[in-house]
Amino acid sequence: MLYIKNFSILGGDKRQIALMKSLVKDGIKIFAAGFDNIAIDEKIIKTNFDEAIKKSEYILLPLPATRDFLSLNAPFCDEKILLKYNFPKKLFDKKVFCGVSQNLRTLSPEWKKVDLIDYSSREEFTIRNSVPAAEGAVALAMQKYEGTIFSSKCLVAGFGKLGRALSHLLFGMGAKVTVSARKLKDLAWIESLNYKAILTKNIKHHSNFDIIFNTIPYMIFDAYTLAKSAKRSILIDLASAPGGVDFDAAKTLGIKAILALSLPGKCAPKTAGLIIKSTIYEIIEEINRRKKSETN
Amino acid sequence: MLYIKNFSILGGDKRQIALMKSLVKDGIKIFAAGFDNIAIDEKIIKTNFDEAIKKSEYILLPLPATRDFLSLNAPFCDEKILLKYNFPKKLFDKKVFCGVSQNLRTLSPEWKKVDLIDYSSREEFTIRNSVPAAEGAVALAMQKYEGTIFSSKCLVAGFGKLGRALSHLLFGMGAKVTVSARKLKDLAWIESLNYKAILTKNIKHHSNFDIIFNTIPYMIFDAYTLAKSAKRSILIDLASAPGGVDFDAAKTLGIKAILALSLPGKCAPKTAGLIIKSTIYEIIEEINRRKKSETN
Amino acid sequence: MLYIKNFSILGGDKRQIALMKSLVKDGIKIFAAGFDNIAIDEKIIKTNFDEAIKKSEYILLPLPATRDFLSLNAPFCDEKILLKYNFPKKLFDKKVFCGVSQNLRTLSPEWKKVDLIDYSSREEFTIRNSVPAAEGAVALAMQKYEGTIFSSKCLVAGFGKLGRALSHLLFGMGAKVTVSARKLKDLAWIESLNYKAILTKNIKHHSNFDIIFNTIPYMIFDAYTLAKSAKRSILIDLASAPGGVDFDAAKTLGIKAILALSLPGKCAPKTAGLIIKSTIYEIIEEINRRKKSETN
Amino acid sequence: MLYIKNFSILGGDKRQIALMKSLVKDGIKIFAAGFDNIAIDEKIIKTNFDEAIKKSEYILLPLPATRDFLSLNAPFCDEKILLKYNFPKKLFDKKVFCGVSQNLRTLSPEWKKVDLIDYSSREEFTIRNSVPAAEGAVALAMQKYEGTIFSSKCLVAGFGKLGRALSHLLFGMGAKVTVSARKLKDLAWIESLNYKAILTKNIKHHSNFDIIFNTIPYMIFDAYTLAKSAKRSILIDLASAPGGVDFDAAKTLGIKAILALSLPGKCAPKTAGLIIKSTIYEIIEEINRRKKSETN
C-alpha cells in the first residue's frame, strides 16, 4: 500500500502526461502545472506552479529537470520557469522526485536543502528504460537501413544494460547478432544467449556488419576502427556523452553515422512514463517501510 | 547452375537497383534502362531501352510493371515509357520476367504474345515478401504507437502469409499477441505457437488492444467492430484492395487508422530486391530442368 | 455451451485419466470402465462396461481403440474386452468418440452401424498433438545425445505438422536447425523462420548433423543417405509406418537409430488427454450448431 | 596461439573423454591415464600415471579432482589412485589444472606446493556450464511432469547464473515463466525478459505452479512455503549444498521433490568437456600474455 493521496507534477513532456493519466487511474489526485498548451486527461487538475506546489507533499520534476541549466524542462508550458533562488525555496519540506538531480544541485545552493530523490539514477529504472531505448534504436535502424532487420548482420558494441536489451531484441527479430564485451565472463554470457561474441578491442578485426550499434561511452569507433569495420554499415551511437564514435572521421569515410540519445522519451513516451511511475512507487514503498521499521 | 550470361533491367525502383547490384556480384552482365537520374553500381551498363532489350534474352520488368496502366513503372527514368502497341512487340522472343502481369495483359493484345513470367504470383515470392512486409508494418506501428511493442497488446487479424510473419515478429519482440482466424485448424496452429487464438467473427467481442493489424482483404473492421474493439487502438490495414477497414467510420469514431500497402519496396528495398532475384533464379532453374528432361 | 451432462469412458491409458479429471472439473459426470488397477480421481464413478455404456449417450473409446485388432486398448483393465460381435451392438444409438476408427471398422460388420466419431483424424487434433510429440522427440534426443541441444546441429526431415513443431522447439532451445522439404514454398517458409532450408532429395549432400529427426513416412534414410549424412548422428524416426529409416542399414553402419512412436501419450499424457478433450468439445459444439440450424 | 604441444589427462569421466578427443583434433598430443576399461579415440596415447605425468608440463585433473577425499575421481580406472603424500610430489614443477581445488588442498600439505589452477572456479566456466545444467534440469522435468513444458506454469527460484539460463530455456520452449529474486534490479531484468517477476520472500503467496526449480542455496522451500506453493508441483532442487528444499517436509506433504546435482557431466558430458577445454585455453592464453608482458 502506498498511502499517497495526491501528487503535483511540475513540467515535463509526453512521459509525464502518460504518468499522470496512470496515477489518476490508481486513484491519486493530480495537480499539474506547466501543461498550458496541450490537452490532458480531464481528471487531472491543471493549476499554476505555486498552487500545485502547495497542494501536495509529493512533487515530481521532469527528466531531466532542466535541459538549459536555467529553466524547468517544460515544453508544454507557455512561460519559462527559472530554477534558481526562489524556486527551490518553495520546495523545502517537500519530497521532490526528479530526473538527473546533479543538474539542479549545481544551479544554486538552495537546491542542496531540497529533499531531492533522483528516480533516474536508480538501477532498476535504467534497466527498465533499456527496453524502450532498444526499440527506439531499432526503429531508427529500420528507417536508415535498406534491408530487413531479419537476417541482417548486426554488431552491438558493449554488453551493459542497453547492450543486453538491444541484442535480445535484435535476436528476437531474426538478426544475426554479434556482441562485443571486454570481460571473458561477458563473452560467456553472450555465447550462452546464442549470439556471436567478440572482444571489444578486436572489433577492428571484424567487418561486413550491416548495422552497428554502439553503447560504450568512450571512443571505440575511431577513424581506424571505422575504416576497418564500418565501411558498409549504418552506425548508430547510443552512448551518452562523450559518445563512442568519431563522427568527423565517419563523415570523411562516407559512413552513415547517427547520434541517437533520449530514445525512450522520444519513441515510447507512454512506456517511459509508466517506468517513471513504477520507480517512484518503489521508492515510496521503501520510504514507508523504513518509517515503519523506525517506528517499531 | 544458371548458365545466364546477361540480363536487361527495364525500369523499377530501389529494389531493382539492389537486385542489379547482386546480379553483377554473381558474375552476370547487366544492361539497365530507366535509371537516368540515380547513381547505380558502376559495373552495371546504363543504356537506352531499345539497346537494353536487344542485348539480352532475359528481360526484367518492375513490380508492378505499370502503376498507371499506361507507362512503365520507372521512377528514376526521365521520360515516360508507354507500354502499348510498339513496346510489347520488341519483347517477342524474349523471356520477360515481370510483376503483376495481368496489368500488362489488359493493356493491349500484343502483350498476350509476349512470354511473360510473373515472379510476383509465385507462392514462395509472397511468403518471402511477408518478412519485409511484417517489418514495415511494425516500423509503422512503432512510429504511431506511444508505447513499446514489448508488452503491448496486439491483434493480428488473419493467419495467412502476412499474418503468420507478423505475429511471429511481434512475439519475438515481446508483444502479447492475439491472432484471429476462421478455421479451427488455424486456431490450433496459433495456439501451438503460444499466441492467443480467437475466431475472426468474434473479434467484436474482444477489445483493449493497443495495436490492431488487419491482413484480411474483406470488410472485417466495420463501424460496429471498430466501436467495440478498436476504440483505444492504433489500426493498421495491410490488406490489399478492397481492404478490411471502414476508414470513414474509423474517422468518425476518432480511431487512428492507417492504410499501409507495398511495404517491402518502401521499407526494405534491398531485401525486396534480393527476394525478386531468388525467385527469378528458381524460375530459371525450373526452365533449365524442364529443357533438360525434354532433351533426354 | 456444451449441454453435456455425462460421459462414459471405456478403457484407455493415462491420457484418459487426465481427460476424465478435467471433464469432472468442468462439471460433467463421468462413468469409467476399465481402470481396475489404478487410482483415479474420486469424483469419477468407476463401474463395469455394461453399466457405463448404459449410463451415457456419449461414449469415449481410447486412442487407438484397439492395438491388437481384437480387444479394447485398456492397459489398466484386469480383463480383456473383446471388440467383435457383441460389443459394438451395445453401442448402437450412442455417440461413440474414438481414436483410429478404421481399426474398428475392419473388425466386424456391426461396427459399421455404430455412430463412430474419430477425434484422432481431425486436423486440429494432429496439429495440437504435434507439440507434445515434438517435446517427446527432444526428450529422447536429450537422453541419447551426449551434448546439449543448445548449439547442436539438428536436421528435421519434413516440414509437415510435426516437422514444424519440432523445428520451432529446437530453435527455441538454441539449436542450429536445418529443415528439409520438397516444395519451394516450404523452403521459403523455413527460411522465413530463420532455419536453414534444404531440399529433401538433397539430404544426402549434407552431413555433420549431431541429431537427425525424420518425420517423413517413406524411405528417406536408405543405406546410401545414411552413409553420406548420418555417420556421426543420432537418428530419431518419428514417421508413422512404414517409417523413413532403413534400420538394418543403420545397424550395419553403426548409427544409433531409434524408432519413436506414440510420443504424446508416453511423454505428456496429461497434455495429450486435454487435447482429446478440446477436440471432443469442438466436435460436440459443431453437432449442436448443426442441430440448431436444422431446427430453425 | 596456445603453443601447447602436449597435455596429460589423469582420470575423469565422459567429459574428459570428449575433452581429449577435441584436444587431439586441435593438434595436441594427449597422454591419458585412468581410462583402462573404456574405449577412447585411438589417437590418444593411453599410458600409466607416472609416465603420463612425466610426459607433459600440463596436467589435467578431473572435476572434482576427488569425490571421496581420498582417491582420484577416475570411474574408468581399474585401480584406486590415492592422492595423499606421494602423488602431489610428482606434480611439483607442473601446471596442474583441476576442478574444485580446495578439496585437494585439505588432503595433505604437499598439495599446497603444487601449482594448482582451478578451472571450475572461473566465472566464465560457471556461466557456460549453466547451459547444460539448465538442459539437464529441463530433461528431468520432462521425465517427471506428465504435461508438456510448453504452456506449463514454471517457477524458477533465484536469478543467478543457473536461474538465468533456466528461465531463458523454459521461455524458449513456450512455458509460462515466473522468476523470483531478492533485488529490485533483478526484478526489473526479469520483467524486461518477459517473465513474471516475484520477490523470493513472497513465493509463499503464489501457487499453482506445475514445476518449481530451485537454484538458491539456502532454505527457501521450508514446510510452510511447500504447503502454500508447491502442493501440486514437481519440485526440482538444483542448488548446491546445503540446498534449498526441506525434503522431509516435502515427503510428508506428498510433494514430488528431486535433488538434482552435477547435471552437466551427467546429461551433456560432451558439451561439459568442451567447456572445460575452452576455459583451460583461456587460462593458458592469459598465462602466455602475462609472460610476454613480463619479458618485454
ipTM: 0.94
Q: Which of A122, A125, A127 to mutate to test the interface with D (most CBs of D within 10 A)?
A: A127
Query: CA-to-CA distance for D29 and D41, rounded, in angstroms?
Result: 12
Q: pLDDT > 70: what percent of chain C?
A: 99
Chain C residues close to D271, C-beta within 8 Å = 146-148, 150-151
Inform me whether the pLDDT recorded for C231 exceeds 80. yes
Are the C-beta atoms of C208 and C235 separated by less than 8 Å? no
Neighbours, chain A (3 or more CB pairs < 8 A): B, C, D
Chain B residues touching chain D at CB-CB below 8 Å: 150-151, 174, 192, 194
CATH of D6-121+269-295, one of 3.90.550.10, 3.40.50.720, 3.30.1360.120, 1.10.1330.10: 3.40.50.720
Residue A161 cell numbers, joined: 544494460
Mean per-residue pLDDT, B222-240: 95
C-alpha cell at A58: 509529493
The domain segmentation of chain B, as residue ranges, is 6-121+269-295, 125-261
**CA gap B287, B155 in Å, rounded:** 42
Q: Provide the mean pLDDT of chain B.
A: 94
Report the C-alpha gap between C255 and C239 in whole angstroms: 18
Q: What is the helix (H) or strand (E) element at residue C52, kind and residue range?
A: helix C49-55
Strand partners, D206: none
Mean pLDDT for the stretch of residues B8-23: 95
Rounded to an integer, the average pLDDT of C179-193 is 97
One DSSP character per residue, B135-166 reads HHHHHHHHHH-SS-STT-EEEEE--SHHHHHH
Question: What's the sign of the alpha-carbon dihedral B105, B111, B116, B119?
Answer: negative
Q: Which residues of B touch D197 (CB under 8 A)?
A: none
* Least reliable range by pLDDT among A103-112, B26-35, B219-228: A103-112
d(CA C172, CA C160): 18
Q: Do A191 and D128 touch (CB under 8 A)?
A: yes
Q: How far apart are CA B170 and CA B157, in angstroms?
A: 13
CATH superfamily, domain at C125-261: NAD(P)-binding Rossmann-like Domain (3.40.50.720)
Return the number of CB contacts < 8 Å for B and D.
8
Smallest CA–CA distance, residue C168 to chain B, in Å, is: 8
- How confident is residue B2, by pLDDT bands cut at 50, 70 and 90? low
Question: C10-42: buried (b, 16+ CB within 10 Å) or exposed (e) per residue?
Answer: bbbbbbbbbbbbbbbeeebbbbbbbbeeeebee
pLDDT band with cut points at 50, 70 and 90 for residue C1: low
Give contacts of A174 with chain C, Cβ < 8 Å: 194
Output the CA torsion sign for D178, D183, D186, D192.
positive
User: Using CB atoms, which chains have 3+ pairs under 8 A with D?
Assistant: A, B, C
Query: Are D150 and B194 a contacting pair at CB < 8 A?
Result: yes
Q: Which residues of B touch A274 (CB under 8 A)?
A: 147
How much is the average pLDDT of B159-172?
Answer: 98
Sheet strands side by side (includes A115-118) = A45-46, A29-33, A6-10, A58-60, A95-98, A115-118
Nearest to D192 among A131, A193, A282 (CB): A131
In A, what residues contact B, Cβ < 8 A?
Answer: 14, 18, 131-132, 135, 139, 142-143, 145-151, 169, 172-174, 267-271, 274
Nearest to B172 among A135, A172, A267 (CB): A172
* Confidence (pTM): 0.95
CB contact under 8 A, B124 and C282: no
Contacts of C14 in chain D (CB under 8 A): 146
Q: Look at C146 and D18 and tell me if their CB atoms are within 8 Å.
A: yes
Mean pLDDT, rounded, for C153-172:
98
Q: Looking up cell 548433423, which residue turns up?
A: C209
pLDDT per position as a tens digit, A173-212: 999 999 999 999 999 999 999 999 999 999 999 999 999 9
Buried-state track C239-257, b at ≥16 Cβ within 10 A, e below 16: beeebbbbbebbeeeebeb
Are A174 and C194 inside 8 Å of each other by CB?
yes
- Model confidence at C4, in pLDDT bands (50, 70, 90)? confident
Phi, psi of C250 (to 5 degrees): -60, -45
Residue C120 contacts residue C100 (beta carbons within 8 Å): yes
CA A138 – CA C212 distance, rounded (Å): 36
| Distance, CA of D17 to CA of D11 (rounded, Å) | 10
Query: Alpha-carbon distance D251 to D227, whole Å?
Result: 11
The DSSP letter of residue B202 is G
Low-confidence ranges of chain D (pLDDT < 70): 1-2
Find the closest chain C residue to B129 by CA distance. Answer: C192
Of the candidate ranges B17-26, C45-54, C186-195, D235-244, the one whose mean pLDDT is the lowest:
D235-244
